[in-house]
Amino acid sequence: MKRVQDKVVLITGAASGVGKADALLLAAEGARVVLGDIDRKAGQALATEIGANALFVELDVAEEEHWQRAIDQTLAQFGRLDVLVNNAAICPLGTIEQTSLQQWRSVLRVNADGYFLGCKYAIEAMKQNEHGGSIIMMSSVAALGGLAPMCSYSSSKGAVTALTRNVAIHCKNSGYRIRCNSIHPDGIWTPMTQALVPDLDPAALGIGDNPMARMCMPEDVANMVLFLASDESRFINGAELRIDNAQMISGIAAGTPTQFKSEQQ
């Protein structure tokens, strides 16, 4: 059985990394996917790879008119919106002492403003659906434990986590049948992470080989996204779901990971 057969899913940051893994898996499971990204070339290439059940939309998540256009294009092409995956993010390094106001604002613009706008316009579209919808927020263990070298990023993901709870209870109280949950990975081996830790020991990857591994693959996150997009998770709402191989409860994630070097961006 296709787990998300005919569901219409809008994914931000869909051209690479976790967003791309989400799109490929959801499409394989029967979804019609709308690929939102600022990378037009990679986004269109992925849409071509997936085929008729994919639509690329150019989407800067921090621009309100981009969201309005993306939702309009989604409804025009597929008739409704069932799932939003708020995934796009940026992750510069910098402690509280090193982070400039400019960096702080640029990160919050994408990682917080962008998620707020996504929720706002997705709710407007989804509340018309008989069966509601699912909003999936990509947060981080940084929102729960704090990562010293990532001041602006950690703070933005904290905003995402609080927004998730707010959206979940608002939609429940409004009778919209729209669920909202956050996913909290530790490290994910994506182009963004690879740029931060180019010399990462391969032993940090692959939980099957190393029980202490703290880096997962994009597909590990995509499997959680698939579950939250499907009706299998119909009673999960307002939850914080960690994908971290018990890193948070080990206490290590609350400190400074050795593989991240704090530096001014």
Cβ atoms within 10 Å, residue 232: 12
Q: What is the DSSP letter of 261?
A: P
Q: What is the CATH number of domain 8-250?
A: 3.40.50.720
Cβ 7 vs Cβ 32: under 8 Å? yes
Residues contacting 85, CB < 8 A, separation 6+: 9, 10, 11, 12, 19, 22, 136, 138, 225, 229
Domain residue ranges in the chain = 8-250
> Which DSSP string do the residues of 141-180 spell out, in sequence order?
THHHH--TTBHHHHHHHHHHHHHHHHHHHHHHHHT--EEE
Give the start-end residues of each E strand in 28-118: 32-37, 54-58, 83-86
pLDDT tens sequence across 139-194: 999 999 878 999 999 999 999 999 999 999 999 999 999 999 999 998 776 777 76
Residues contacting 237, CB < 8 A, separation 6+: 168, 172, 179, 180, 181
pLDDT tens sequence across 184-232: 998 776 777 766 666 766 666 665 566 767 777 889 999 999 999 999 9
Residue 220 token pair: 């590990």
Q: Is the pLDDT confidence value at 260 over 60?
A: no
pLDDT tens sequence across 20-47: 999 999 999 999 999 999 999 999 999 9
CA distance 13 to 138: 11
pLDDT tens sequence across 106-137: 999 999 999 999 999 999 999 989 999 999 99
Give the start-end residues of each E strand in the chain: 8-12, 32-37, 54-58, 83-86, 133-138, 178-185, 187-188, 215-216, 240-243
Residues taking part in catalysis: 153
Give the pLDDT score at 81: 98
